[in-house]
Amino acid sequence: MMKSYMDQLERLGSPYPQDLAIDIILNYLPKSYNVFIMKYNMNGWEKPISELHGMVKTAEKISQEKSRRTKARTSRESHKLAREKERKLLKTHHPRRRKRLPKMTHALSEELSGIGKGIVLKLKNKKAGEGPSGISFSMIEMGLFTFSSNTWVLDTGCGTHICNSLQGFRKSKDLKENEMVLHVGKGARVTVQALRHFDLCLPSGLNLTLDNVCLITAITRNIILVLRLRKSGNDFKFDDDNIHSLKGIFYFEARPINRIYELNLNDTSNNKSLYHVNTKRPKPDLNQTYLWHCRLGHINRKHISQLQKSGLLGANDIDSFEICESCLCGKMTKSPFFGTSERAIENQLDKTIKILRSDRGGEHLSQEFQDHLRSHRIISQLTPPRTPQLNGVYERRNRTLLYMVRSMMSRITLPLSFWSYALLTAARILNMAPTKKVEKTPYEMWYGRPSSLSYMKVWGCEAYVRKNTSNKTEPRSTKCIFVGYPKDCLGYYFDIPSENKIFISRKDEFLESKFLIYEARGRRVELEED
């Protein structure tokens, strides 16, 4: 089915890339092909789609043959068991072979009816005169334990990370038989099948990467070596009976279960997720200038001072707030070298575009785009190859946007997929902030009137949004994360972490002060500058 879709797209002139097409085909295979998919990924095969299709057909035939043999064997075994049962039944009803079994006491009956416990009952025939009864009962109680593949044990005595499942592996190095052997238990030897990098998706919303994890399918528990996490920068702290792993921010919590510390990846009861506000080290006061500094995407003090002089912001002490740690995290640069930058951009007084300068990007060199420029009498200027200095205004503005995005995202540990919302918010803020060359803001120069900043909020803060519900017993609002401003309507973008949903609303109550009185707890944001 998927191959026919790929063939149709190829005939229409829009083929999928081969790697993407193969991933789609493998992901849509049913569970009966799990062994085939595992072998395909472990051997690192890179086959064309036609050859992959043939391999899938062959695997399907083999699977059908195995299923047919299994059904036949099961049928033979069931007939054999039925005959044995019938033979035993005939022996039991024979008058000469019938034996009287002792009556079971009420207490023993209750013990045998227990749920969740394995009980072995052993009957011994005794000679007459030995002991108070001719029958003795010996009961052994056994605990039944099942281990989930999503639980990991924190261990300090194991020599390495160990995993028993293929799920979650990124890179692998397959090992030959007996190339690496571990000694477990009472000296038993187990063979390591592969060394791999493993990504753990933690309940906090963060990812924990484990390097050189030994794949041993015979091991019943997944094991994390605490010493390796310590060497990679993780700190551990005891909170009551639980262990917290920290790396600047909260990563995970391990709880004692059967006297063993376990990390459960399916634990949703943890209130220390990446959306949970940390309650330690509050700042004593919330300065209004610092509040507007965060609302305006961490722009510098000079621009805030210009906004105050123009009357768009109230008069506050510009030097009264401390150094912003989010700015230090997002805008730290090397000491600049001496250099000059010439700019050949003329201010166009008309509102029509006269000249377009580009950096030889593929989207600017297409024939369709060039025809569009000629039809509108726009002059196209191209910079020489590998000379971004001649496009300095664009490059510097792009650098400023990236600085703002880093500062905004380092304030809170939202997923990195929200960088586009932070970028759109930063672009809106820059259009309402003054520049070095011109007294007015870009918004005022374009629309002829100053912009309003009264609706600006701190990006990433929490907010309560009113719900449109007719049920009188349900809460009237829901807690969300503010992630941006819509372009085509009045309101705000909000994200509901539990539902993975983004929507627009204007009936809301922002928790800016609560968000800013705590220390920055975000992650390090890596955004490359092209």
| pLDDT value for 453 | 87
| pLDDT value for 358 | 78
| pLDDT value for 340 | 29
How many Å apart are CA 321 and CA 298, to the nearest integer?
13
Q: How confident is the model at residue 518 (pLDDT cuts 50, 70, 90)?
A: low
Answer positive or negative: Cα dihedral of 8, 14, 16, 17.
positive
AA identity, residue 487: K
Q: What SS3 state is found at 356? A: strand
Share of the chain above pLDDT 90, in %: 4
Which range (48-57, 216-225, 487-496) has the least confidence? 48-57
Stretch 295-303: mean pLDDT, rounded? 75
- For the stretch 126-178, pLDDT in tens is 444 444 444 444 343 333 444 566 678 888 878 888 887 766 666 667 777 77
Stretch 27-53: mean pLDDT, rounded? 75
| pLDDT value for 349 | 43
For residue 194, count other CB atoms closer than 10 A to its CB.
17
Orientation of helix 18-27 relative to helix 49-92, angle to 10°: 20
How many Å apart are CA 365 and CA 12, to the nearest integer?
25
Which is it for strands 379-382 and 207-215: parallel, antiparallel or unpaired? unpaired
- For the stretch 244-293, pLDDT in tens is 787 767 778 888 887 888 887 766 555 454 444 444 444 445 567 777 77
Q: What SS3 state is found at 107? A: helix
Which is it for strands 501-505 and 250-257: parallel, antiparallel or unpaired? unpaired
Q: Which residue has the higher pLDDT, 327 or 400?
A: 400
Q: Taking 90 as the threshold, does the pLDDT of residue 209 lie above it? A: no
Q: Taking 80 as the threshold, does the pLDDT of residue 341 lie above it? A: no
What CA–CA distances, in Å, run from 505 to 244, 457, 458? 37, 14, 16
Q: What SS3 state is found at 414? A: coil
Please enumerate in sequence order all residues whose Cβ is within 8 A of that of 149, keeping only pairs 6 or more positions apart, or say none.
164, 165, 167, 222
Q: Under a CB-based contact definition with an 8 Å cutoff, are residues 266 and 150 in contact?
A: yes
Q: Under a CB-based contact definition with an 8 Å cutoff, are residues 274 and 416 in contact?
A: no
| pLDDT value for 319 | 52
Q: Which residue has the higher pLDDT, 319 or 200?
A: 200
Full-prediction pTM beyond 0.85? no
Stretch 229-244: mean pLDDT, rounded? 80
Q: Which of 85-99, 309-323, 431-445, 465-479: highest mean pLDDT? A: 431-445
| CA-based nearest residue to 151, from 256, 248, 276 | 256
Residue at token pair 């719900």: 467
Q: Under a CB-based contact definition with an 8 Å cutoff, are residues 488 and 373 in contact?
A: no
Q: How confident is the model at residue 192 (pLDDT cuts 50, 70, 90)?
A: confident
| pLDDT value for 165 | 73
Q: Which residue has the higher pLDDT, 160 or 32?
A: 160
How many Å apart are CA 385 and CA 365, to the nearest integer?
13
Stretch 12-34: mean pLDDT, rounded? 74
Q: Under a CB-based contact definition with an 8 Å cutoff, are residues 242 and 253 in contact?
A: yes
The number of C-alpha atoms within 13 Å of 224 and in the hemisphere containing its C-beta is: 24
Stretch 367-379: mean pLDDT, rounded? 83
Q: Taking 80 as the threshold, does the pLDDT of residue 426 lie above it? A: yes
Map 61-90 to HEC letters.
Answer: HHHHHHHHHHHHHHHHHHHHHHHHHHHHHH
Q: Which residue has the higher pLDDT, 325 or 275?
A: 325
| pLDDT value for 498 | 80
DSSP codes of every residue in 223-275: EEEHHHHHHTT-EEEEETTEEEEESSSEEEEEEEETTEEEEETT----S-STT
| pLDDT value for 318 | 53
Q: How confident is the model at residue 425 (pLDDT cuts 50, 70, 90)?
A: very high
- For the stretch 478-507, pLDDT in tens is 889 999 999 888 899 999 888 888 999 987
Show the domains of the chain with their CATH numbers. Answer: 2-64 (no CATH), 151-264 (2.40.70), 288-331+352-461+511-516 (3.30.420)
Stretch 428-442: mean pLDDT, rounded? 85
Which is it for strands 242-246 and 169-174: parallel, antiparallel or unpaired? unpaired
Stretch 32-36: mean pLDDT, rounded? 77
Q: Chain-wide mean pLDDT for the chain?
A: 71
Q: Which of 107-111, 374-378, 403-407: highest mean pLDDT? A: 403-407
| pLDDT value for 486 | 92
